[in-house]
Amino acid sequence: MIKIDLERNLVDIDTPDGVASYPIGSPEAFKWISQAWLRSGWDTKYVYSFTWMGRPVIQLPEDMLRIQELVYRLKPDILIETGIAHGGGLVFHASLFKAMGKGRVIGVDIDIRPHNRQAIEAHELADHITMIEGSSIDAAIVAKVRQHIQPSERGLVILDSCHSRAHVLAELRAYAEFVAVDSYMVACDGIMQEIVGAPRTRPEWVTDNPQSAVKDFLAERDDFALDEPVFPFNEGQITERVTYWPGAFLKRVK
């Protein structure tokens, strides 16, 4: 149980050894409050309330800010994103590439709904975006992605389609070839295993989730490593992300 007491400026946590109290301004209190906030946000569908340049983007704002820091540092030639939905993620990344004067986005989705396709194709940043319809793990679709990438181009991959363990593992295997050394694959929504019991969840998410897929993939490979990016600015006390993407960043190391 978590009790936030603003009169005492303490956060009280029930533990097997009794109640542990942390000052409200401590990193420990922030961590517990953040966990409660993430769960509350899931239950209330908080992430379904944002757009980027007119297109819905179903992500936590912190996750979007963190990924833009990584994109800006790496400046990839290609960003591949599986899972298009309304296209907000594609437009977000395209806007970064437009501002940097370099890069383009390839989006893959098993079902690009006509109204979303029309809106993305009519967007100001459409010339930075390529969409491919089909299953992201279909060999023919992966081959189509490959056709849009030159051998010398440096890639970054974001996996945000079906989040089952088997599907994410298949994506990791299929898209690893497009990731440049020192670049990343990002397996989104690993929070699934941490919110079992919440609305719209399933009991099997305890193991059937992206974090499990990442562990399986890393057990097979020695050219990738789980690597939390070091973000360039922090004058505060908090060092851990408040995120839907725990255990998400796989860096290509060779």
Q: In which residue are the tokens 């081959």 written?
A: 143
CATH of the domain at 144: 3.40.50.150
Answer yes or no: is pLDDT of 88 > 90. yes
Are 136 and 33 within one domain?
A: no
Kind of pairing, strands 184-187 and 249-252?
antiparallel
Do 101 and 13 belong together in one domain?
no
**Identity at 188, one-letter amino acid code:** C
Same domain, 128 and 76: yes
DSSP for 193-247 reads GG-TTSTT--GGGGTSSHHHHHHHHHHH-SSEEE-----S---SS--S---S-TT
Q: Do 37 and 57 lie in a common domain? A: no
Range of the domain at 187: 51-252
Q: Is residue 1's pLDDT more than 90?
A: no
Per-residue pLDDT for 244 more than 90? Answer: yes
Whether residue 146 sits in one domain with residue 40: no
Q: Given pLDDT bands bounded at 50, 70 and 90, which one contains residue 38?
A: very high
Last residue of a domain, one of 28, 44, 60: 44
- How far apart are the C-alpha atoms of 134 and 110, rounded to whole Å? 4
Q: If you count them, how many residues does the chain have?
A: 254
Identify whether residues 247 and 166 lie together within a single domain: yes
Contacts 24+ apart (CB under 8 A), 68-75: 68/92, 68/96, 69/229, 69/231, 69/232, 70/156, 70/184, 70/229, 70/249, 71/96, 71/103, 71/156, 72/96, 72/100, 73/229, 73/232, 74/154, 74/156, 74/182, 74/183, 74/184, 75/100, 75/102, 75/103
Mean pLDDT of the chain: 97
Are 124 and 248 found together in one domain? yes
**Average pLDDT for 129-147:** 98
In this structure, the answer to whether residues 85 and 209 fall within a common structural domain is: yes
Residues 59 and 83 in one domain: yes
Please give the share of the chain, as a percent, with pLDDT higher than 90: 98
The Cα–Cα gap between 228 and 226 comes to: 7
- How large is the average pLDDT for residues 174-202? 97
Residues 35 and 134 in one domain: no
Q: What is the pLDDT of residue 25?
A: 96
Domain shared by 90 and 71, yes or no: yes
Query: Could you tell me the pTM of the whole model?
Result: 0.96
Contacts for 35 with CB less than 8 Å, ≥ 6 apart: 2
Q: Are residues 36 and 55 in the same domain?
A: no
Burial class, 249, CB count within 10 angstroms (exposed 0-12 / middle 13-18 / buried 19+): buried
Look up residue 236 and give its two tokens.
């505060």
Spatial neighbors of 25 by CB under 8 A, at least 6 apart, are 9
Q: Tell me how many domains the chain contains.
A: 2
